[in-house]
């Protein structure tokens, strides 16, 4: 089971120029074959189905723990898409191909790829055979890295760039982790396969802050008590830089999410959101909650709620 924490693993910029076509491109990183839904669900199912955990714990812990981090990645991709869709005027996007963002969803991320094709469980490989599943995971991260690189190239919206800069670094860690697990199991040396695709992450400007923070060599432990045995696999030199790989014994602190404004032309969250706000306020009072909303968001310091209400009224 999980505990959920309302924080983002990295910072994303607030909405700026809407970018409907870019948001469609970024959907590939959500629901495409190599999107974050795929990494999340592959590792999640592999961990659920993992047999003989006690006998082979370090490998189980590795997969289960990376699965936990991936949840945060689908959250980031969704946030990026939502940011890019904020402010789109649906009367102006007739020629935009990704119509589901407007006539089906509500300017929100969908579990679908850049053509609108839904993510499917068909993308999950959970064979039960450990070497096979790890081989798959190494390949999946390779394909995912490729996808991120291309979306990076195609979209220059600041949110898309912040997203891909971060995910390239973190995906790279997972790619290393699965290769290392294979090496530990078989004795092979896969280091020279890196980087794959063969462009070093270090050449991408938006990756720099994360590399400087050492994010390219750290595996966080996303659990209060479990997955302690990842250290038995995730160690040794980083295949590209030679630096020591490192297990961080807790989750990253994270960043408060942006609270995105209502989009009334798609009724999100309503045609008249201020009415819901009013109802919410009454319910909160009746429940004895404090006057100030308990949720923490990045853009709360100067009263988004009242501003939105003002703007709406």
User: Which one of residues 294, 301, 302, 313 is an interface residue with its own copies (CB under 8 A)?
Assistant: 294
**142 in contact with its own copies (CB under 8 A):** yes
Contact range with its own copies by CB under 8 A, out of 89-97, 166-174, 210-218: 89-97
Please confirm whether the linkage preceding 197 is cis (ω < 30° from 0).
Answer: yes
**149 in contact with its own copies (CB under 8 A):** yes
User: Which one of residues 228, 237, 240, 241 is an interface residue with its own copies (CB under 8 A)?
Assistant: 228
Tokens 């798609």 belong to residue: 266
Q: Give the x/- contact pattern for its own copies in 202-221, rule: CB under 8 A.
A: --------------------
Q: Distance between CA 144 and CA 146 in Å, rounded?
A: 5
User: Which one of residues 87, 209, 218, 235 is an interface residue with its own copies (CB under 8 A)?
Assistant: 235
Contact range with its own copies by CB under 8 A, out of 113-121, 166-174, 211-219: 113-121
**117 in contact with its own copies (CB under 8 A):** yes
SS3 212: helix
Count residues near its own copies (CB under 8 A): 169
**187 in contact with its own copies (CB under 8 A):** yes
CB atoms closer than 10 angstroms to residue 9: 22
CB atoms closer than 10 angstroms to residue 248: 13
Tokens of 72: 């945060």
In angstroms, give the least distance from the CB of 33 to its own copies. Answer: 7
Q: Which helix (H) or strand (E) holds 253?
A: none
Q: Distance between CA 163 and CA 286 in Å, rounded?
A: 40
CB atoms closer than 10 angstroms to residue 147: 23
Q: Distance between CA 220 and CA 250 in Å, rounded?
A: 6
Tokens of 40: 């999340």
User: Which one of residues 136, 170, 174, 217 is an interface residue with its own copies (CB under 8 A)?
Assistant: 136
In angstroms, give the least distance from the CB of 250 to its own copies. Answer: 9
Q: Distance between CA 219 and CA 174 in Å, rounded?
A: 8
User: Which one of residues 12, 18, 98, 159 is an interface residue with its own copies (CB under 8 A)?
Assistant: 98
**14 in contact with its own copies (CB under 8 A):** no
Nearer to its own copies, 122 or 212 (CB): 122
């Amino acid at each position: 089971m999980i505990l959920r924490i309302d924080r983002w693993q990295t910072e994303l910029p607030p909405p700026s120029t809407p970018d409907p076509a870019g948001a469609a491109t970024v959907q590939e990183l959500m629901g495409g074959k190599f999107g974050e839904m795929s990494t999340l669900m592959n590792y999640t199912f592999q961990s659920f189905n993992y047999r003989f955990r006690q006998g082979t714990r370090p490998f189980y812990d590795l997969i289960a723990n990376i699965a936990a981090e991936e949840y945060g990645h689908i959250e980031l991709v969704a946030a990026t898409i939502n940011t890019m869709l904020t402010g789109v005027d649906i009367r102006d996007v007739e020629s935009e191909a990704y119509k589901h963002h407007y006539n089906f969803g509500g300017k929100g991320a969908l579990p679908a790829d850049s053509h609108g094709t839904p993510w499917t469980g068909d993308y999950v490989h959970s064979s039960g055979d450990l070497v096979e599943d790890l081989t798959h995971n190494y390949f999946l991260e390779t394909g995912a890295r490729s996808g991120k690189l291309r979306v990076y190239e195609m979209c220059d919206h600041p949110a898309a760039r912040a997203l891909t800069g971060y995910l390239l670094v973190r995906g790279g860690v997972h790619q290393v982790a699965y290769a290392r697990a294979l090496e530990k199991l078989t004795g092979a040396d896969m280091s020279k396969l890196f980087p794959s695709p063969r462009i070093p992450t270090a050449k991408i400007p938006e990756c720099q802050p994360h590399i400087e923070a050492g994010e390219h060599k750290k595996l966080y432990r996303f659990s209060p008590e479990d997955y302690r045995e990842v250290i038995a696999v995730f160690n040794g030199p980083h295949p590209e830089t030679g630096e020591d790989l490192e297990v961080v014994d807790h989750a990253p602190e994270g960043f408060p999410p942006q609270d995105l404004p209502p989009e009334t032309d798609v009724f999100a969250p309503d045609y008249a959101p201020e009415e819901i706000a009013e109802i919410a306020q009454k319910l909160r009072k009746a429940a004895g909650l404090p006057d100030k909303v308990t949720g923490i968001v990045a853009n709360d310091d100067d009263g988004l709620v009242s501003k939105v209400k003002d703007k709406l009224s």
